[in-house]
Structure 1
Amino acid sequence: MSSCELLYWKNPVETGKVFGGALVALLVLKKVNLLTFLLRTLYTVLLTTASIEFLTNLFLGQGLVSRYQPQRCPDTVAFLKPRVDAFLTQLPPYQTKLRKLAMAQSPKCTFKAAGVLYVLHKVFSVLSLWSTLFIGTVALFTAPVIYKTFQKEIDATVAQGVEAGKYHASNLQSNVSEKASPYVKQLDQKLGPVSGFIKSKLPATRVAGSNVTAESSTAKLAAQVPLEEPAQGQTSSADFPTAPSTHLGHTVTDTTTGVEQEVSEGLKYGSSI
């Protein structure tokens, strides 16, 4: 029978046997001191075999225990070795998972594991080990059946609880961000260049539906601007600016009509010897 069939009570007789045996073992563990029980069992067996062997030697001339004793010991090594080897074969993958968990290769999983350990710490600080085992055994054999019977109601309640938790977490985050914003700005101003360097190393965040911040886009555009203009290989007369034209002359006004006329005079270059 598989574990699912066992926990879902597919065969009530078999599940009842396992469940009852677990409860009896827990009750024995609660009421009986295992160390004293083991010691009492051992010295009772030794006293019994020694007494039988002594009396039968005395009255019968031969000890019954030595006559009917097993000829060889149980092969404990052959029984345990395959199981120990199977356990040791499965151990390295668990060690790898534990190393990844401890070294926080996935911070989300590490946070979850820390939360579970914290809850267990609180549970064991309130309840004893036996109480925890007893409650856990009862819950193990009853919770799956209860969940299967009332699955819709339980799922709806859990969904409502998750939504309420998200709402409260969002409000708490907004309140914390609002209260911490002035202190963050003060710290940013005090750090100065260090803060700018850290911001440049951080990944881009979303701003107004974009995947790139305004600062990162500005830095990217500035990086694309060349520091120097590339040198021109060839030049022509078209590359030089056009010189302004200069007109030499004077204006003459006609006395009869009153119209002004411009009279140009050319430059005369000569040389005198």
Structure 2
Amino acid sequence: MSTAPIVTPPSSSSTCSLLTWKDPVLTGKVFGSIIVSLIVLKYINLINLFFRGAYVGLLLSAAAEYAGKLVTGQGFVTKYKPAAKSYAKQFNDVIIPQLAELNLKIEEEFQKIIYSHDIETTLKAAGLSYILYKLTSWFTLFTLIAASVVILFTVPVIYQTNKKEIDAAVANFTKLAKNKTAEYTSLAHKAAAPHIETIVKSTGPVGKFVKSKFPTRTAGSTVGDSKPTFGTAADELPSATTTGSSKFPDVPSASLGDHKSTVEEFVDHAPEHAQNAQSEFTHF
């Protein structure tokens, strides 16, 4: 039993070697074939040519088969046709499983982007979509594909040749961009501060309340070390609370034990006071 040959997909290393022109002959053939195909697709209507050749070939096949049956009793096409080889089985056994696995991975990644499983990835996809929207509104699809092919076969080899210089330039540009971003952010804060203060004053107590909820930065404070402290209405009240002209009475300084001893002393001397009062009444 003959088995179909196993076709292994090109690895990332072979693709990198192809794009970096490690084998100039092979890369030149691939690059030239892609460019020629794009030019042919641009200026030649292949679909029209395909259907034209299809109807001419089918008419000739039917005529040859009919003439052979009419003359010899067996059609020429049936008699002289080459041995047919099935490519569908090889395609189903080798290509279809890989396409099915790739389709599942594409669907999984697509759902992660659509349903924001990773917000950063979704934002990157949104940015890429916006860039493609702008590019497709400025250039045709053929121009974009041709430019992408040229960039794909030129940028990697240029980067590999001038790797140190390009990395240094990118690092300097990134540092400059961060500094400029911090500078513009500081200027924006300084420019917006008077307007925010005006809004706070115009809104009255509401603005003051909202402002009190934001931490106040000092000269020695840092973002990671300082923690905002929020006051409450009870903390802002004075220690002695007054209402109008009246004042709440102070709490007596004597303790409950002193009052208890006074009551017990009164109970102990109650009989003596009663006898003195009775003698005075009898004498009267």
Q: Do both share a fold (TM > 0.5)?
A: yes
Match of 1:144 among 156, 160, 166: 156
Residue in 2 aligned with 1:209?
222
Match of 2:178 among 155, 159, 166: 166
Residue in 2 aligned with 1:35?
47
Amino acid corresponding to residue 215 of structure 1 in structure 2: P
Q: Which runs of 5+ in 2 are unaligned?
A: 1-9, 236-253, 260-271
Aligned-residue offset at 1:129:
1.0
Residue in 2 aligned with 1:3?
15
Task: Work out the CA distance in 1 between the residues paired with 2:216 and 2:140.
Answer: 49
- Check the 8 A contact 1:205/1:212 in 2, yes or no: no
Task: Work out the CA distance in 2 between the residues paired with 1:241 and 1:147.
Answer: 93
Rate the CA distance shift 1:192–1:106 in 2: closer, same or farther, 3 A: farther
Aligned-residue offset at 1:55:
4.2
Aligned-residue offset at 1:145:
0.8
Match of 1:69 among 71, 76, 81: 81
Identity %: 31
Write out per-residue CA displacement over residues 98-129 of structure 1, whole angstroms, 9 at most, x where no aligned residue.
33323334333322222222112222222111
Residue in 2 aligned with 1:14?
26
How many residues end up aligned between the 2 structures?
Answer: 226
Aligned-residue offset at 1:24:
1.4
- 145-154 vs 8-17, greater mean Cα deviation: 8-17
Amino acid corresponding to residue 110 of structure 1 in structure 2: T
Task: Work out the CA distance in 2 between the residues paired with 1:23 and 1:35.
Answer: 19
Aligned-residue offset at 1:53:
2.8
Amino acid corresponding to residue 86 of structure 1 in structure 2: Q
Amino acid corresponding to residue 162 of structure 2 in structure 1: F
Aligned-residue offset at 1:160:
2.4
Task: Work out the CA distance in 2 between the residues paired with 1:205 and 1:5.
Answer: 57
- Check the 8 A contact 1:7/1:15 in 2, yes or no: yes
Write out per-residue CA displacement over residues 10-29 of structure 1, whole angstroms, 9 at most, x where no aligned residue.
22222122111111111111
Task: Work out the CA distance in 1 between the residues paired with 2:186 and 2:56.
Answer: 71
Secondary structure in 2 matching 1:215: coil
- Check the 8 A contact 2:216/2:228 in 1, yes or no: no
Aligned-residue offset at 1:140:
0.9
1:79 is the counterpart of 2:109: no
Rate the CA distance shift 1:212–1:95 in 2: closer, same or farther, 3 A: farther
- Check the 8 A contact 1:206/1:212 in 2, yes or no: no
Residue in 2 aligned with 1:256?
none
Write out per-residue CA displacement over residues 157-200 of structure 1, whole angstroms, 9 at most, x where no aligned residue.
2222222322332233223333334555566675949x85xx69
Normalised by the size of structure 2, how large is the TM-score? 0.64
Normalised by the size of structure 1, how large is the TM-score? 0.66
Aligned-residue offset at 1:218:
5.8
Rate the CA distance shift 1:54–1:119 in 2: closer, same or farther, 3 A: same
Higher relative contact order (CA 8 A, sep 6+): 2
Alignment of 1:157-236 (within 5 A): 157-184=169-196, 190=203, 192=206, 208-209=221-222, 211=224, 214-216=227-229
Aligned-residue offset at 1:143:
1.1
Amino acid corresponding to residue 114 of structure 1 in structure 2: A
Rate the CA distance shift 1:206–1:101 in 2: closer, same or farther, 3 A: farther
Rate the CA distance shift 1:103–1:216 in 2: closer, same or farther, 3 A: farther
- Check the 8 A contact 1:23/1:134 in 2, yes or no: yes
- Check the 8 A contact 2:113/2:122 in 1, yes or no: yes
Structure with more helix by fraction: 2
Q: Which runs of 5+ in 1 are unaligned?
A: 223-237, 244-268
Task: Work out the CA distance in 2 between the residues paired with 1:152 and 1:68.
Answer: 65
